Amino acid sequence: MSYQNGKAVLPESLLAAIQKYVDGEYIYIPRKKDNRQPWDADGQSRQITFARNQEIFRKYAAGISVKEIAKTYFLSDKTVYGILTKMKI
């Protein structure tokens, strides 16, 4: 997902109408149903996530704290604990 400048991609009248509801804020516009892709449609997201989770498990096994791992990967402690639980299986 990338951000586009509304001024560059929307007609002025539509931009003015949107600004009545959301002025200067970020807004998410979902894809049309026909353009949606399932998660991991490119086949790489799953691999990248699995590699990251293996790295998290190795760091934890090496003695790095959950708090430090969470901070490094921008995750919550709860998410790290969940990853560690799954990786132990």
Specify the pTM: 0.56
Domain that includes residue 57, residue range: 45-88
Confirm whether 67 is domain-assigned.
yes
Residue 53 and residue 78 in one domain: yes
Confirm whether 40 is domain-assigned.
no
The answer to whether 84 and 73 have CB atoms below 8 angstroms apart is: no
Give the tens place of pLDDT for each residue, 2-40. 788 999 999 999 999 999 999 988 888 888 888 777 767
Q: What distance in Å separates the CA atoms of residue 53 and residue 46, rounded to the nearest whole number? A: 10
Give the tens place of pLDDT for each residue, 39-83. 677 778 888 999 999 999 999 999 999 999 999 999 999 999 999
Confirm whether 64 is domain-assigned.
yes
Helices then strands, each counted (H, E), the chain = 5, 0
The answer to whether 23 and 51 have CB atoms below 8 angstroms apart is: no
